[in-house]
Chains A and B, each alone.
Chain A
């Protein structure tokens, strides 16, 4: 008798545990912090999935993929969220992701989306950000920038995704002439930092007139600090995009839940959190629209290399960059 009661109790426990499936999402570090989108997204998704959403921070954007590859088939990850589109070819080549299976995702982006393995969750335009009180006539193009005596801080394309974005941006605008352009730009560059944080911090300290960041960066200062002195520039040649994508890991033990998360990712429960926590454009504009400051600078032309194209161009562009700036 006693034994059956215990057994029944155990069975109840077991079923309670299985009802609470866990979805493990690997993402980059700043996503999960109390200032990032993580906490809001966890609450909203758990309210509808009857599951536990486990957001795991794994270094920065580039480290995400190398961590997944290190773990290989034994990985606990069901979803990887936060891969830069510029690095998505390597993600595809790793053979660790499944197709997302969403036919025509409802996206609000200036470019077509044809990727059957990864779905975007946010995006932005790279742009040079300056302080209006210090720079009166900001350059309107790469040409004007190189001809000016303004000082800029940029990031290293070998260790930073904005740095990689600028590398490909220059390549997209100048093609064969990219190396020559970098040589012209060299005297404008104060320094090249490991990551975005160092560069942006240096800019705020007044070490440079402009910094490579995003068109949405001034919105942070406006909305969070009530400071409207920062501005971003839409270049005449167009601005390069950063698209951040997520994919379903092929070895996931909760494939339905993973699919459910990818669907949820493009709804307001996820997308509303993006603008004022990640300071990027939501991949699907939520019902309430975009916050103030997000549409004050809209580039006329959106530039981007997708997946394999970005990978193939990267190596050549990196060598041109290195050679031009090492002189």
Chain B
């Protein structure tokens, strides 16, 4: 067994322990299985339909948006790319309030409509759920697709220009093959994120019509203490995710565009007035849609920002620590799995690595608790466990960014490196690391920010005197202190973005070149 196979297998085993292992632990602790009721089937149907639609729409909007950003240079471009990272790292409850202040019954849009004598809009219902999920995931999709665009070597565009290619020819020869590689994985990640959505779907769905499987799992755990049912529901959700993963990764094809010399991209094909106007409109519309809710969150938080209780700042430090630890673990798991996936060319490895998103956070938390409780005091492990779970949860994003990039490197330079006898650490340091800067920065930034904002399992393990920032925000809300909670949300938004910016800077610097 080679080193790649060994390390990759160990990393995969860790992922499986956190997903299937925790599920098995809950099954083992359950005292029998109970079947599916009508309500559960309805929840399953709703989950699948909204997740499919949300993922499809996110991608439909993301492709033209990413193309516009990829081929235009404008002031604030770097900032926009940075802000694209923001929505889906927000804790759901914070993001929901941002959306409501724009699209709600008393939000900006309704106020404007009333001014001109029209009926206010309603965000509540199936469309609200999809709107929220697109708000969360359109930016993510755009970032992932943008990575694909930026990975097309500038020499290809140069060649295309000298051959007199128009936008249509470029789309056919360069862009579509790239999309064929990037989109299925992007769809998968977003589908899974939406599949396990719970609080957002409920709050904006307008009622029990918008029940997802995750809510049914919560109910089975906490209202009925029916572990068997919770585990069964989680298993169904998991199997569904796995099936979609296998299809998505089967559809994806390596693009095989070939290597370039890393020169900056100039797009001679897209200089017409018409295309400029379309891109400008797209970028402006997306900016308003994504930035407005975040601006409202920030605005809400300002009044109390400097009079917040000290505990908020301690919670912030704690969350930063968790986030940094989580970045390290993400890399430690992500690299070996990506290397193995590239080496094997099999989609199964990447599929397993991506499947963590289909696992129910409630089941992971409970399963870990069942495993850890006989061994040690789970409360004492609250922060390490949170960092670990966050890392496993951000692994799919890491793989989305790392696997295609690493595959490209190996396709372009693998034989050369083999010929030079460059293996192990030498290959890692001199071939992979320099060429992986962009996806790596993105991965680390995303992992850090996700970990910052995630509430996932911390609630189950929370040590009473050591809350993380998201937990502290929830606690403030539960104590009627909504203005303080808004202040906390602003800190969370700012620190997540700062982390994301720090790590992602390398990647963005390249993008501007």
Contacts and interface: CB of A to CB of B under 8 A. Distances in A.
A63 B205 CA distance: 24
B96 A198 contact: yes
A326 B205 CA distance: 11
Query: Which of A59, A87, A196, A208 has the most chain B CB atoms inside 10 A of its CB?
Result: A59
A205 B101 contact: yes
Interface string B76-110: 00000000000000000100110011001110000
A151 B122 CA distance: 12
Contacts of A62: 222-223
B93 A197 contact: yes
Contacts of B160: none
Interface string A218-236: 0011001000000000000
Nearest to B477: A197
A55 B101 contact: no
A268 interface: no
B478 A29 contact: yes
Contacts of B124: 190-191
A205 B478 contact: no
Interface stretch (B13-21, B196-204, B252-260, B337-345): B196-204
Interface stretch (A68-76, A104-112, A284-292, A300-308): A68-76
Given A201-B97, A322-B208, A70 B223 contact: no
Nearest to B201: A194
Contacts of A94: 225
Given A29-B462, A29-B475, A56-B379, A325 B97 contact: no
Nearest to A59: B459
Interface stretch (A33-41, A173-181, A250-258): A33-41
A57 interface: yes
B273 to A, nearest CB: 43
Nearest to B475: A33
Given A198-B96, A207-B104, A35 B222 contact: no
A230 to B, nearest CB: 10
A262 B369 CA distance: 29
A38 to B, nearest CB: 8
Nearest to A220: B480
A29 B156 CA distance: 57
Contacts of B106: 205-207
Contacts of B198: 194
Given A159-B218, A205-B100, A321-B208, A151 B93 contact: no
Contacts of B207: 186, 189, 191-192, 325-326
B313 interface: no
Given A159-B219, A190-B206, A65 B104 contact: no
B482 A193 contact: no
Contacts of B219: 158-159
A34 B202 CA distance: 30
Nearest to B46: A326
Contacts of A128: none
B29 interface: yes
A255 to B, nearest CB: 22
A214 to B, nearest CB: 11
B100 A70 contact: no
A141 interface: no
A118 interface: no
Contact of A194 (B100, B202, B478, B482): B202
Given A65-B225, A70-B369, A191-B204, A279 B464 contact: no
B373 interface: yes
Interface residues of A, number: 58
Given A59-B459, A158-B218, A69 B225 contact: yes
Query: Which of A35, A87, A193 has the most chain B CB atoms inside 10 A of its CB?
Result: A35
B475 A30 contact: yes
Contacts of B215: 156, 158-159, 194
A205 B205 CA distance: 18
B366 interface: yes
B39 interface: yes
Interface string A234-266: 000000000000000000000000000000000
B209 interface: yes
A326 B209 contact: yes
Given A34-B311, A59-B459, A321-B208, A194 B369 contact: no
Nearest to A154: B207
A195 B309 CA distance: 24
A93 to B, nearest CB: 9
A70 B97 contact: no
B165 interface: no
Contact of B209 (A29, A190, A325): A325
A244 to B, nearest CB: 14
A279 B202 contact: no
A224 to B, nearest CB: 7
B373 A197 contact: no
A63 B225 CA distance: 9
Interface string B407-442: 000000000000000000000000000000000000
Contacts of A193: 199, 202-203
Nearest to A205: B100
Given A159-B215, A191-B207, A33 B202 contact: no
Interface in B468-513: 471, 474-482, 485
B42 interface: yes
A19 B342 CA distance: 62
9 contacts: A29-B474, A30-B478, A34-B309, A66-B222, A67-B369, A194-B202, A198-B93, A206-B106, A321-B208
Rank and list the top 10 A-B pairs by shortest CB-CB distance, nearest first: A206-B106, A197-B477, A62-B222, A30-B478, A57-B464, A158-B219, A35-B479, A325-B207, A194-B199, A32-B464
Given A195-B199, A195-B478, 17 more contacts: A29-B475, A30-B475, A35-B479, A69-B225, A70-B29, A151-B105, A159-B202, A190-B105, A190-B124, A190-B206, A191-B204, A193-B199, A198-B199, A200-B482, A205-B106, A321-B208, A325-B209
Interface of B: 29, 39, 42, 93, 96-97, 100-101, 104-106, 124, 198-199, 202-209, 215, 218-219, 221-223, 225, 309, 311, 366, 369-370, 373-374, 377, 379, 459-460, 462, 464, 471, 474-482, 485
